[in-house]
Chain A
Amino acid sequence: MQPSIDVSSSPADPMTPRMFRVLRNYNDTADCYTLSLQAEDGDPLLFAPGQFTMLYAFGRGEVPISISGDPSDPGTLIHTIREVGPVTQALREVKKGGLIGVRGPYGTAWPVKEAEGNDVVFVAGGIGLAPLRPALYQVLHRRSRFGKVALLYGARTPNDILYRDELEKWRSRFDMQVEVTVDRSQAGWRGHVGVVTRLISRTGFDPVNTIAMVCGPEVMMRFAVAELTGRGVAQEQIHVSLERNMKCAVGFCGHCQLGPAFICKDGPVFVFPEVKRLLSIREV
Chain B
Amino acid sequence: MSAGTTTAPTYRTLTVPQLDQLLSALCKEGYLTIGPTVGDAAIVYDEIRSTKDLPRGYTDEQEAGSYRLRENAQGYFAYITPVQSAKQYLHPPRQHLWEAVKDSEGFHILPDPPANTRYAFVGLRPCELRAIEIQDRVFLTEPFVAQHYKALRQAAFLIVAQCTRAGATCFCQSMGTGPAARGGFDLALTEFPEEATFLLEIGTPRGQAIVDAIGCAEAPEEMVEQARARQSQAALQMGRRLDTEELPKQLGSSYSSGRWEQIARRCLSCGNCTMVCPTCFCTNVEDTASLTGDHAGRWQRWDSCFTSELSYIHGGVVRKSTASRYRQWLLHKLCTWHEQFGESGCVGCGRCITWCPVGIDITEEAQALRQAH
Contacts and interface: CB of A to CB of B under 8 A. Distances in A.
B249 to A, nearest CB: 12
B310 A255 contact: yes
A196 interface: no
* Chain B at the A interface: SS class: mixed
Nearest to B248: A260
Interface string A166-183: 000000000000000000
Interface stretch (A8-16, A69-77, A208-216, A229-237): A8-16
Interface string B306-324: 0000111111001111011
For the complex of A and B, list the 4 residue pairs with the smallest distance between their C-beta atoms, beginning with the closest: A254-B282, A99-B106, A283-B324, A59-B296
B289 interface: yes
A281 B255 contact: yes
B283 to A, nearest CB: 5
Contacts of A98: 106
Contacts of A260: 335-336, 339-340
B313 A15 contact: no
A62 B285 contact: yes
A58 interface: yes
Interface in B316-349: 318-321, 323-324, 328, 331-332, 335-336, 339-340
A254 B328 CA distance: 11
Given A59-B100, A59-B287, A248-B283, A3 B155 contact: yes
A30 interface: no
Contacts of B281: 252, 254
Given A244-B318, A255-B310, A17 B2 contact: no
B94 interface: no
A58 B319 CA distance: 30
A160 to B, nearest CB: 16
A252 B138 contact: yes
A2 B116 CA distance: 9
A105 interface: no
B320 A283 contact: yes
Contact of A58 (B30, B102, B111): B102
Nearest to A10: B111
B151 A284 contact: no
A282 B325 CA distance: 12
Interface of A: 1-3, 5, 7, 10, 12-17, 19, 21, 56, 58-62, 82, 84-85, 97-99, 101, 243-245, 247-248, 250-255, 257, 259-260, 262, 281-284
Contact of B144 (A56, A60, A250): A250
A3 B314 CA distance: 42
Contacts of A7: 113-114
Interface in B152-186: 154-155
B305 A254 contact: yes
A72 to B, nearest CB: 24
B150 interface: yes
Of B151, B314, B335, most buried by chain A (CB within 10 Å of CB) is B314
Given A15-B98, A283-B318, A5 B313 contact: no
Contacts of B310: 254-255
Nearest to B2: A3
A146 B364 CA distance: 56
Interface in B96-116: 97-98, 100, 102, 105-109, 111, 113-114
Nearest to B285: A247
A248 to B, nearest CB: 7
A61 B98 CA distance: 12
A245 B285 contact: no
B214 interface: no
Interface in B4-24: none
B340 A5 contact: no
A2 B139 CA distance: 20
A253 B284 contact: yes
Given A254-B310, A281-B255, 17 more contacts: A2-B118, A3-B2, A3-B151, A3-B154, A15-B97, A16-B98, A16-B109, A16-B111, A62-B285, A99-B107, A101-B100, A247-B285, A248-B285, A252-B146, A255-B282, A255-B303, A262-B340
Nearest to B147: A13
A57 to B, nearest CB: 9
A59 B297 CA distance: 7
A253 B282 contact: yes
Contacts of A56: 100
Nearest to A15: B97
Contact of B321 (A13, A58, A85, A283): A283
Contacts of B312: 245
Contacts of A14: 144-147
Given A245-B313, A253-B303, A19 B108 contact: yes
B206 interface: yes
B39 interface: no
A257 B144 contact: no
A251 to B, nearest CB: 6
Contacts of A247: 283-285
B336 A257 contact: yes
Of A21, A60, A251, most buried by chain B (CB within 10 Å of CB) is A251
A21 B107 CA distance: 11
Contacts of A250: 144
Contact of B97 (A3, A16, A257): A16
Nearest to A278: B255
Contacts of A245: 311-314
Contacts of A255: 282, 284, 303, 310-311
Interface string B221-236: 0000000000000000
29 contacts: A1-B155, A5-B114, A7-B114, A10-B109, A16-B98, A58-B100, A58-B102, A58-B106, A59-B289, A84-B314, A85-B314, A98-B106, A245-B311, A245-B313, A247-B283, A248-B283, A250-B144, A251-B141, A253-B303, A254-B281, A255-B282, A255-B284, A255-B310, A260-B335, A281-B255, A281-B256, A282-B324, A283-B323, A284-B324
